[in-house]
Amino acid sequence: MQFYSTRNSNHIVNIDEAILNGIASDGGLYMPSAFTNVYEQLAGNDLHSVAENMLTPFIGGYFSTDEIKAIVRESFCFDVPLVQLNEQLYVAELFHGPTLAFKDFGGMFMANVMSKILQKQGRKLTILVATSGDTGGAVANGFFDKENIDVVILYPKGKVSDLQELQLTTFGKNITAIAVDGTFDDCQHLVKTAFADQELKASANLSSANSINIGRLIPQMIYYGYVANKLFKEKTIRPTIVVPSGNFGNISAGLFAKQIGYPITRFIAATNANDVVPEYFNTGTYTPRPSVQTLSNAMDVGAPSNMERINNLFGNDVSKIKDEISAYTVSDEQTKATMQSIYEKYNYIADPHTAVGIRVAEEKANNETCVVMATAHPAKFKADVELILGVNIPLPKQLSDLLNKPQQKLNIPNSFSVLKDFLLTAQKK
């Protein structure tokens, strides 16, 4: 399959170039040239069978069937439990990977695919990525010690949880973590500016592992396909899927899954106080603005990059988008209240991001069977969750092992010139 830029449909590349470039030369995001219904050809119901079925149309022209099987088994070695809270409400736990967040799907897949592409091409690469919390940890874990790949992670200083920061800063070797004096939007702007800089483009072989990279979205389709197929096969239910949303990459992957035939009714985007998209759907005017800090910090995005993909998918027609997606906002106080009520009713501990999704599912679904995508393990937000619920949350081994590891990080101001100097200097080493 080929991929085109959202800003120029005549700018067409193959999958290797789309993934290695991260972003098109015109600043656009890559989109699949076609969506083929493959659901009827699904041979098995396990996670690996679903992954192979969903990935083949997108990467099958570059990788052989055996290579795809190997990538799937190397990348997705963890389960996706589907927890039923009541008759019409399910939670899909996407946090059973190595960094306890849904972004392990994209991080592990991208690391394995990029490594194989670079080996075939004999190239080296620098991954430059911005994170609001979980992306960086998943990328660092996936790419750690991979040959021919260096990783530079930008994150907003003081605006990620302590455990999230440990997941960014305790690797070393080919992973460099940089705390930026600013917000996630500032970090994301620095990344986009770097990709647009001609001097950097000529001297540093840059790529991204944010959801702006099509290689992040493709593997994220898999858990949508897996849970939708499970409910459809077992109960003939086409679920409505509720997605805690910040940069809107996760819900974009869900849209892709539906486009290739998987049995999904519609989507509901659940945002925090950063409500640019709900406002867009209500007014028809898209007005990005600086993000504000909330309890669900990984969703603190005021200029969601992937709205460019969603607009492109639906011909920039907001009425068509609203046929597939509803969007609602949840305050921090509502998030806390939902965490408490879910624990009291179901003895279920939800992290703040998942609680935002559950709140919207309970209030806005119209007698639909909903699956809320649980994006992170509650232990990643241990202090907040324990304070709100009054319970002790043991740290999983993936997190407890980090506590005694030294941190390795740099601090920079919100300055592109400082970042550029660092990248150019690092390239010469």
C-alpha to C-alpha distances, 257 to 51, 207, 229, 268, 303, nearest whole angstrom: 11, 25, 11, 15, 24
Distance CA 278, CA 169 (A): 34
91-104 pLDDT, tens digit each: 999 999 998 999 89
> How long, in residues, is the chain?
429
What long-range pairs does 320-324 form, CB within 8 A, spacing at least 24? 321/281, 322/281, 323/266, 324/255, 324/258, 324/266, 324/267
144-172 pLDDT, tens digit each: 998 889 999 999 999 888 888 999 999 99
Tokens of 168: 């960014």
Tokens of 308: 């460019």
In a domain, 7, yes or no: no
Tally of domains within the chain? 1
User: For all residues of the chain together, what is the average pLDDT?
Assistant: 93
In a domain, 382, yes or no: yes
pLDDT, average across residues 57-61: 94
Domain that holds residue 272: 79-101+214-393
Which of 198, 185, 200, 208 shows the shortest CA–CA distance to 136? 208
Q: Is the pLDDT of residue 19 over 80?
A: yes
In a domain, 168, yes or no: no
Tokens of 377: 């393990």
DSSP-derived 3-state class of residue 270: strand
pLDDT interval class at 254 (50, 70, 90): very high
C-alpha to C-alpha distances, 196 to 22, 52, 189, 206, 308, nearest whole angstrom: 12, 34, 11, 11, 17
Catalogue the active-site residues. Answer: 103
280-303 pLDDT, tens digit each: 999 999 999 999 999 998 899 999
CATH code, 324: 3.40.50.1100
In a domain, 71, yes or no: no
In a domain, 260, yes or no: yes
Q: Is the pLDDT of residue 76 over 90?
A: yes
pLDDT at 429: 63
Based on its alpha-carbon atoms, the radius of gyration of the chain, rounded to whole angstroms, reads: 20
pLDDT at 122: 87
In a domain, 60, yes or no: no
In a domain, 234, yes or no: yes
In a domain, 351, yes or no: yes
